[in-house]
Amino acid sequence: ASGGLEREATGAGLTSLRQLSFRLDRRLETVCSAQLTGELDDCFCDVESIDVFNNFKVYPRIKKLTEKDYFRYYRVILTRPCPFWPDDGHCSIKDCHVEPCPESQVPVGIKSGNYNKYSQAANSMADVAECEQAKELGAINSTLSNRSKEAFADWARHDDAQDHFCELDDETSPDAEYVDLLLNPERYTGYKGPSAWRVWNSIYEENCFKWPRSVYRPLNPLAPGRGDDDGESFYKWLEGLCLEKRVFYRLISGLHSSINIHLCAEHLLDEGWGRSVWGPNLQEFRQRFDTGETKGEGTRRLKNLYFLFLIELRALYKVVPYFERAIVNLYTGNSREDGATKELLLELLSEIQAFPMHFDERSMFAGHKMEAKTLKEEFRLHFKNISRIMDCVGCSKCRLWGKLQQIQGLGTALKILFSEKEIQKLPEHSRSKGFQLTRQEIVALINAFGRLSTSIYQLHNFRLLLEEKR
């Protein structure tokens, strides 16, 4: 249905698009009777406009983009032990398993040694540059003590880390493996219970700027006497925080909501005789988002999903100048495929530029200079700690998509939002030392945004199912 309206809507303005949307989903049917309409908190945008923009303009394009070779292969370490508590062991359910991709099947331009390169020129010049650098460093290092060499190495690592909001996997590690994301889709695996709750609890309560012990996150399964006040004390406390701390909580909540929608939309419905049937599970969806079953919490969760969508949308808007440069050609070794991928990416970014209601990140960290700097660093360190918690996820497939979306995808979006000046200074025909994105960051950024776009698109499908049910 959306495909036909997409063709009809080509070139149309936002107003006419909204009219078309109402034909498909006339009253923007309330999700499980929850009023998911109107403006979102902490920004000037409404749910209806995002629905129309995403379902007609973004989703069809980003779905095609994430199927391209450049974006389907992701290098990740899934075997690191949990650094915070004794490891529960990996989930033994077969759907938790991730099938790594043999390097022989990975496009030549993506394979080991080229994982931080994004252009053919960068690959062909890599060996020469590394050789010249080795000669220069050799001449300098001969005059340095071992202690000084280690200090310089530590400084370099520290400087590199200042741009990152997450702990990145070492792509050169022998434990790092390529994964074909299309062959390992995000869907329901059966991983749940105390192990999964402990991970989410740690992410929320140990990292969201430490709320008081007397305040409990709504519907927290590990909280004593949970739900006694329908979460009102929590939200009163949250409203008293500064914008940055509210944003941090809403990003995590929005990501949690997005993941839950994926699990509900791709649920195991039937299994037998060597085949599995996957599809939407309305009961699971209502359990997580129905306003009655969640005491109104479902609506807040979904609004946080839309809020996160706007944050990552803004990051893509900001990074357009980076991708518009001729030097960035999303190199896989197949020139025709690479050209089509770059064209599709720029087409998506052009649509994003045309969207009139972006989140204004300038309102964040805008107070006293030293206080803003301290708060930004605290924000970054909290987020980096969450990236370490991902190694405590017992389900390999959950760990894969958590690392891609929650760690590197969102982390790259935050890196972009706080690098506006560096992006504006980018040279047209050479790499800049002020701002860079590795291939891993680009792949994670686009796939993470694609997951959010898919979540919002799936919400429309659940609305239709709920209407049929009624």
Q: How many CA atoms lie within 13 A of 123 on its CB side?
A: 19
Read off the DSSP letter of residue 56.
I
Q: How many degrees, rounded to 5, is the angle at CA 209 between CA 381 and CA 434?
A: 30
Which one of 32, 45, 392, 395 is the catalytic residue?
A: 395
How far apart (Å, rounded) are the C-alpha atoms in residues 140 and 134?
Answer: 10
- At 188, list the tokens: 């329901």
Distance CA 291, CA 470 (A): 16
Rounded CA separation 378/280 (Å): 39
Q: Counting beta carbons within 10 angstroms of the beta carbon of residue 445, is it exposed (0 to 12), middle (13 to 18) or buried (19 or more)?
A: buried
Q: Are strands 267-272 and 275-279 parallel, antiparallel or unpaired?
A: antiparallel
Q: Shortest CA distance to 43 belongs to which of 277, 346, 362, 322? A: 362
Q: Is residue 395 annotated as part of the catalytic site, yes or no?
A: yes
What is the C-alpha separation between 140 and 133, in angstroms, rounded?
11
Token digits of residue 402 = 């958590």
Q: Which of 240, 233, 207 is nearest to 218 (CA)?
A: 233
Residue 264 bears catalytic tag: no
Q: Is 288 annotated as a binding residue?
A: yes
Which pair of tokens denotes residue 343? 């064209």
Determine if residue 470 is labeled as part of a ligand binding site.
no
Residue 256 assigned ligand-binding role: yes
Question: Residue 330 half-sphere exposure, CB side, CA atoms within 13 Å?
Answer: 26
DSSP secondary-structure letter at 278?
E
Q: Is there a binding annotation on residue 187?
A: yes
Contacts of 62 (CB under 8 A, 6+ apart): 348, 446, 449, 450, 453
Q: Which of 233, 250, 247, 231 is nearest to 294 (CA)?
A: 231
Q: What is the dihedral of CA 7, 13, 15, 21, to 10 degrees?
A: 20
d(CA 327, CA 313): 23
First to last CA, the chain: 21
User: Is 147 known as a binding-site position?
Assistant: no
CA distance 257 to 255: 5
Q: Which residues are catalytic?
A: 395, 398
Binding positions are 187, 189, 200, 253, 256, 288
Binding positions for FAD are 187, 189, 200, 253, 256, 288
